[in-house]
Structure formats: structure tokens, C-alpha cells
Amino acid sequence: MKKTYLNVLALLLAALMILSGCSAKPAPAPSEPATTPAEASTPAESTPAPEPAESTEPKHVEVLRIGTTSTNDTFNLTTQGGSFGVMNYNSFVAGLFWERDEFGKPQPGAIKDYSISDDNLSITIYLPENLYWHDGKQVTSDDIIFTFEYARDVLLSSRLKDIVLTRDGDYQATITFPEGDSAFAYVNGQTSWLKIYPKHIWENVADNKEYMGEDRVIGCGPYRFVSVDEDAQLATYEAVENYWKGEILVDKVTVKSYASQEAQIMALRNNEIDAIYNYSGPISATLFPTLEGDPNCDLGISPDPGNYMIMFGYNEAPTNDYPFRKAVTLALDYDLFGQTIYGKYYNIPTKGVIPTPNMGYNSSLPEMTYDPEAAKAVLEEAGYVDVDGDGYREDPQGQPLNVLITPQNNKSRAELLTRIAAVIADNLDKIGVKTTLDEESLTSREAWSARSENGGTYQIYIGYCTSGIASYIGAPMYIVNYTETGWWGTWQDPAYMDAYNKVRASSSFEEYEASMLELQEVIAEQLPAVSFAFGTSSFPYRTDKLDGWINFPGWGVINPKTWYTTYSK
């Protein structure tokens, strides 16, 4: 009897061990508006009271809860680290000079307006007279001058090395670039990134990164920083009263940091957050099934301005040979690549490389086609035949051919890049082209650097054009051999260089668009690169309580317009 009793006691102990941590759920603090998961599961509590029928004004959002994978640990206006840094790309706490709209065009951010001189060398910035720093001081042209000086001297922007700054009045300043530069390109390139810095705070700070003063989070954007709870990885912001740009509908914003996209998705479904925002980090296609069919969530799918692509090496045979490049482009199974990279949400790419949502997308160019037989014929005609009968082709001189596939060295994308490389190898194997994966470049940044940078020696290079780069110069920047950027392009064909430089020298959107169209014609003709698929980005959000979301292509529903358009249902 005693033994049985002890056995039962021991089994109870075992059960207790499994449930060791299970304590009662704590009561939510009155000050914390975010609901707990358990509370969120109760429909009556998660559904807001119906709005009175007579009200036509959009109802303010009390708290917008954003989930991100960036950490809540770096709060400093002059750096881009952590969730604070990436949230500022959305004209948040920082007042941006220029923010991008849903069509990809730069618009004035915290500034009233700007103009570019006829010679495309000067930018004049006009400030509103009622723009204030969050500590109450007025934003003036002194802050504009200071910002450019600070960006040049402290933040070490080489692009600003030779600028001339002019104070045109209390609320107006002009930046003049040296001959040969393009003010339009600067605006386009700095949109979403360039912030106004408060002179009165930063002028005496020697090392901006190490500065820990409380005023390091003072900006002039529509939101002011309130607090951060590092334990909870939760940052809180509140809207600035009477902000000069108009009525802010989202009164308060919380940004919670999650360790993974999986956790973000679960939190969204469990109503812990309202929307997901990851800079340049859309939700992986493998997670789509988790949200599909949920009536309260939208996947937030939008066409992706960025894309994965092959860049052919200009300096190496056989990729410097047009027929070989053409054969490769015919041998690629674009459907398989689309599924590999984007799940079911993709389109077959065109020969112009630049995806659909980008400014200057050339819709007149033909789609890529998968035709291995045509690829074989092209190779046969160009002299790439199997001389020794081993099943693989030799080059036109009869020498063995073994094409190196070099993926970009990128830790977060390594797995996908390896999968893409495997599909390329399989596709080329089918047309008798032997390939080798450049594993060294995949694992060692130094090896990859030596292979790809500054006029690289790769043959087939797999790279990714981020949506950020895509929005202002796009995939062609990764193709061109342009030592100023240090990127991995090798292409030096004169016709391509001319067309590329024309894009760079554009002084207006019209010119930019026209020259982009022309550049894509050259790309279609020369095939220096080929896109695997025109895909989509997913930044999911909840639809049950809030409305008025605007989904920016490749960016998501958290963007510079969110604060003014999102409202409670």
C-alpha cells in the first residue's frame, strides 16, 4: 500500500515536472493596451464597438501594434540600427528629406518642397515654418546645412565630399554638387534614408554612435519616442500634436521585436500585432499556408521591385560569348525558379531584368522562354559540342568546359541561393553544360570578395537586387562594372555603359523613365543578366479592426502613408 502510494506520488511529481512553469496568467496592466493572446481569443473583446452611424470622420487608431524582426536595442537618430532605425525609413520619428510613394517616386518628407536646378547640380530645400523638433525647438535652414555637413564630415558620406552648401534664408537652403554629378540621382538615391539632424543636439557630439544622451531620439517626424521596455522588446511612440503635414490618424504606435518570421506570423494570427514590418525582409513563401484562409489576416502580397538574377561575367569565357549566354537563358526553367523562390506568387520575367513595379519597367519586351532544345541548337551552332563523348560539351576550341556558378555571399539568403544554384546546375546539365558550384564564395566572404568585386572573375553569378536599390537605380547597377560603387558587376560593353550613364545623368523622372526603357532594350539585346522570376513580397496585416492600409510594392502596409490613412473600423 505504501509502495503504491509512493509510486502515485512519484508520478504526480513527474507530471508536475512537465508543467513546472505553468503559473496563472497575469492580469494585464491597465496602461498596456496590447491584448494578451488569451484575451485576444475572445471575439467579444477583440472586436471594437460599432461606430455610430452618423460619424463620417475616420476613427482614430488608438494603438497600432507593429511586429518586426529588428531588435529594440538601438535608439539613435544618426544610425540605422535596430527597429528604431528601420522604422525611420517610413518618416516616423526622423523627419526625412524625401519619402517614396506607392508608385516609387520621391516626395517631400518632413520638408515642404524641393527643386532641382536646370543644370541638375543643385537641390533647393524649402522648410515649412511650423516644423518643430520633438523638444519644441524650430527646424530651420541651419539644421539643413548642419545635416549635410554632419553627413559629410562625421557620417563620412563620400558622395557629399565636394558639395557647396548655401543658406538662402531661415527656411531655405541649397546644396550644390560638383560638375558631372546629378542632383536628381542624389534625391532618388537618398529617398527614404536621408534624415534631418537637429543641430542643437548633435553639433557637440564627437562620436555619434557612442552618444547615449536622452535627446539622441529627438527628431522632427510625425511621431515622438516615448519609451522602450527592453525586457519586453517593446518600443512605444506617440503622434505629434498638430503635425504640419496634416491629421495623424494613428495616435500611438508600439513596435515589438520578434526573433523570427514564424513568431511574427503566430503573433499576427493570435492578434498580438496588427501588421508586420521588416525592412527588405518579406515573409518567406513557405509561411504563406499559415495565414491563407484566415478571414482576419491579409497576406499583404505585392509585386516585388527587387529580384534574384544571374549576372554573366564579362571578363571570362564562355559567358563573354553571346550565343552561350543566349543558350543559358533558354535552358532555364523559369517556372521552377518562380516556385523555388516565391512559392506560387510569381510571373515569368521579361528580357529587361527590371521587375514590373519599378519606375521605367519596359512592358514591351518579350518574356523569357524555357526551351532546352533551342538552347542546344544555339550551342551546336556556336561550336559548343561534345568532342570527347563524355556527355558534356567542350568550348569552340575543343577545350573542356566547366562553368563556375558563384552565389552571392549572404548569410540570410545562403540557403535559397544554394537551391537556385542547384536548379541552374540541373538545367544546364540537361543541355550538356558541366557546372561547378563555387562553394568557397558561398562560405567565405573573402573568397567571394576576391571573385566578385571590382571587375570580378566569375562566370555565372547569382545575385539579389534589393527593393531599396531597385527603387532608384535598379538591377542595372549590379550588372555594370562601375568601380565607384564597388558592386559586383563586370559589364563594360560601350552600348550598355552609354545607356547606363544616361540613366545616372537623368535630371527628371521623365528622363529617368525614358533612359531606363532604353537601357532595358540594350539588356534584352546583349543579355548581360537574366532574372529568374518577377515575384512578390508579402508583409501580412490584420483586416478585422483597421482599414485604410496602403500596400507599397515590396515594402508593405507600414510606410510613410500609414500614419495618415489607417483608421479604426
Partner 1 sequence: MLFPFRGFERDLSMKRKIILNRLLISLGTIFLIVTISFILVNLMPGDPLVNIMGDDQYYRVKYSDPELLEEIAKKYGLDGSLGERYVKYLGNILRLDFGFSFTRNRSVLDIVLYRLRWTLVLAVPATILSALFGALLGIRAGWYQNGLLDRIMTPLTLVLNTIPTNCTAILFLTLFSYKLRLFPISGMASGGLTGGAYIRDVMWHMCLPLSVMVLSRTCSNFIHMKSYVIQVKGEEYILTAVAKGVPKTKVLFRHVLKNALLPYVTILCMQFGHIVSGSVMIEVVFSWVGMGNVMNTAISASDFPIMQMCFLLTAVCMVVSSILADVLYVLLDPRIKEV
| Under rule CB under 8 A, residue 206 binds partner 1 | no
| Alpha-carbon torsion angle 284, 290, 293, 295, nearest 10 | -100
- 3-state DSSP call for residue 255? strand
Alpha helices in 261-389 (DSSP H): 261-269, 288-291, 322-331, 334-342, 372-382
The count of residues interacting with partner 1 (CB under 8 A) is 77
Nearest distance, CB of residue 452 and partner 1, angstroms: 11
Contact characters 486-525, partner 1, x per CB under 8 A = xx--------------------------------------
Contact residue for partner 1 among 5, 21, 118, 366 (CB under 8 A): 21
Contact characters 397-436, partner 1, x per CB under 8 A = --------------x-------------------------
Q: Closest CB to partner 1 among 344 and 411?
A: 411
Binders of partner 1 in range 302-341 (CB under 8 A): none
Nearest distance, CB of residue 194 and partner 1, angstroms: 13
Binders of partner 1 in range 448-467 (CB under 8 A): 449, 453-454
Binders of partner 1 in range 36-95 (CB under 8 A): 36-38, 40-41, 71, 73-74, 76, 79-82
Q: Closest CB to partner 1 among 118 and 214?
A: 214
DSSP characters over 537-559: EE--EE-SSEE----BTTTBS-S
Nearest distance, CB of residue 230 and partner 1, angstroms: 7
Nearest distance, CB of residue 511 and partner 1, angstroms: 24
Binders of partner 1 in range 139-198 (CB under 8 A): 156-159
Q: How far apart are the two ends of the chain, measured CA to CA in Å?
A: 65
Neighbours of 262 (CB within 10 A): 14
Contact residue for partner 1 among 1, 2, 5, 13 (CB under 8 A): 13
Separation between Cα atoms, residue 43 and residue 179, nearest integer Å: 63
- 3-state DSSP call for residue 143? helix
Nearest distance, CB of residue 117 and partner 1, angstroms: 25
For the chain, state the CA radius of gyration: 27
Q: Strand pairing of 64-68 and 252-257?
A: parallel
Distances 146 to 186, 212, 438 between C-alpha atoms, Å? 18, 20, 46
What is the SS3 assignment for 84-115?
HHHHHHHCCCCCECEEECCCCCEEECCCCEEE
The neighbouring-strand residues paired with 167 are: 173
| Nearby residues of 303 by Cβ (< 8 Å), 6 or more positions away | 355, 356, 357, 534, 535, 536, 537, 553, 554
Nearest distance, CB of residue 23 and partner 1, angstroms: 5
Contact residue for partner 1 among 20, 55, 363, 397 (CB under 8 A): 20
Contact residue for partner 1 among 1, 29, 44, 49 (CB under 8 A): 29
Nearest distance, CB of residue 510 and partner 1, angstroms: 27
58, 84, 57, 59: which is closest to 70 by C-alpha?
84
Nearest distance, CB of residue 37 and partner 1, angstroms: 4
Mark the segment that binds partner 1 (CB under 8 A) among 106-114, 180-188, 443-451, 548-556. 443-451
243-248: list long-range contacts, CB under 8 Å, 24+ apart. Answer: 244/128, 244/130, 244/131, 245/110, 245/564, 246/564, 247/564, 248/222, 248/563, 248/564
Q: Closest CB to partner 1 among 127 and 255?
A: 255
Mark the segment that binds partner 1 (CB under 8 A) among 12-20, 237-245, 297-305, 519-527. 12-20
Q: Closest CB to partner 1 among 50 and 295?
A: 295
Q: Closest CB to partner 1 among 233 and 320?
A: 233
- 3-state DSSP call for residue 404? strand
Q: Closest CB to partner 1 among 269 and 393?
A: 269
Q: Which secondary-structure segment (H or E) carries 347?
A: strand 346-347
Contact residue for partner 1 among 130, 166, 369, 483 (CB under 8 A): 483
Binders of partner 1 in range 349-368 (CB under 8 A): none
DSSP characters over 495-547: HHHHHHHHHHT--SHHHHHHHHHHHHHHHHHH-SEEES-EEEEE--EE-SSEE
Q: Strand pairing of 275-276 and 346-347?
A: unpaired
Contact indicator for 246, 267 with CB cutoff of 8 Å = no
554, 553, 536, 529: which is closest to 350 by C-alpha?
529
Nearest distance, CB of residue 482 and partner 1, angstroms: 9
The neighbouring-strand residues paired with 257 are: 68
Nearest distance, CB of residue 241 and partner 1, angstroms: 22
| Under rule CB under 8 A, residue 22 binds partner 1 | yes
Q: Closest CB to partner 1 among 436 and 483?
A: 483
Mark the segment that binds partner 1 (CB under 8 A) among 29-37, 111-119, 176-184, 492-500. 29-37
Contact residue for partner 1 among 1, 27, 49, 53 (CB under 8 A): 27
Q: Closest CB to partner 1 among 27 and 44?
A: 27
- How many DSSP H helices and E strands does the chain contain? 20, 23
Nearest distance, CB of residue 74 and partner 1, angstroms: 5
Contact indicator for 513, 526 with CB cutoff of 8 Å = no
Contact residue for partner 1 among 1, 2, 5, 24 (CB under 8 A): 24
Binders of partner 1 in range 214-273 (CB under 8 A): 229-234, 236, 254, 256-260, 263, 266-267, 269-270, 272
| Under rule CB under 8 A, residue 32 binds partner 1 | yes
